[in-house]
Amino acid sequence: MAPVSVDESGRHSQPGRPSGFIGWAVGLYMRWRNADLNAAAIDALVPFPGDRVLEIGFGPGEGLRRLSGMNEIGKLTGIDHSPVMLAMAEQRNRPAIRRGAIDLRLASIDAAPFAERSFDAILAIDCIQYWPNLMGDLAVVRRLLRPGGRVVFAIQGSEADAGAVSPAKLRQALSAVGFVQIATERVRTRPAPSTMIIARRSI
């Protein structure tokens, strides 16, 4: 199967890697714009008690804040390659970081500093369209998950109007790197509808 790659357009944009003062403003906007999307992604993930969860591209930290409020959730870890987003997410999640419930790292998915099978569940919300090497980066996600572990990709837009990585393209790429039970959920989020792609690492 031919490798799937994303186009270059969004990768160096502010939402793709927020920086400086404008990046901080972009983070505030994302916190508002993606509030519903974050809630829908966590619903789709269905975290179990004790799950070790990784969020890739945590941005302003809203998803991890919500997760840390869940009963009996296990260790939460996040990576983002933007120093501004790291600072913003740290500010947003200070109490949970202090009590050791959340571990935030400055890292890109292609250089994620974790051992194989470190996580029970992984999510990436409004993020995958910025990954430069879709197939290679999905292979990293697969490696980080335990066998049978779940991944959720939350994509802005519906099947037809999604951006650089459409749900169909993502399903194809997931299957090619060895994910199974690939499912699609369409969600009526505000201010725009979204699509959740859910899959498992094969056992």
Ligand X SMILES: C[S@@+](CC[C@H](N)C(=O)[O-])C[C@H]1O[C@@H](n2cnc3c(N)ncnc32)[C@H](O)[C@@H]1O
Residue 93 lies near ligand X (rule: CB under 6 A) = no
Nearer to ligand X, 51 or 126 (CB): 126
93 contacts: CB under 8 Å, gap ≥ 6: 61, 64, 65, 68, 102, 104
Amino acid letter, 121: A
Q: How large is the angle between the packed helices 20-33 and 35-45, nearest 10 degrees?
A: 60
Q: How far apart are CA 78 and CA 86, in angstroms?
A: 9
Nearer to ligand X, 18 or 149 (CB): 18
Nearer to ligand X, 145 or 203 (CB): 145
Please pick, from the candidates 76, 97, 102, 127, the single residue that binds ligand X as defined by CB under 6 A. 127
Amino acid letter, 188: R
Residue 125 lies near ligand X (rule: CB under 6 A) = yes
> Cβ 37 to ligand X, closest distance in Å?
6
Residue 82 lies near ligand X (rule: CB under 6 A) = yes
User: Residue 59 has which token pair?
Assistant: 């941005």
Pick from 101, 98, 46: nearest CA to 78? 101
> Cβ 80 to ligand X, closest distance in Å?
4
> Cβ 203 to ligand X, closest distance in Å?
27
> Cβ 19 to ligand X, closest distance in Å?
9
Residue 56 lies near ligand X (rule: CB under 6 A) = yes
Please tell me the total number of residues recorded for the chain in this structure: 203
Q: How large is the angle between the packed helices 167-176 and 134-144, nearest 10 degrees?
A: 60
Nearer to ligand X, 120 or 126 (CB): 126
Nearer to ligand X, 165 or 199 (CB): 165
Residue 131 lies near ligand X (rule: CB under 6 A) = yes
Please pick, from the candidates 44, 53, 85, 151, the single residue that binds ligand X as defined by CB under 6 A. 85
Among 30-38, 142-150, 157-165, 171-179, the segment contacting ligand X (CB under 6 A): 30-38
Q: How large is the angle between the packed helices 83-92 and 20-33, nearest 10 degrees?
A: 50
Site residues for ligand X per CB under 6 A: 15-18, 30, 34, 37-38, 56-60, 62-63, 79-82, 85, 108-109, 125-127, 130-131
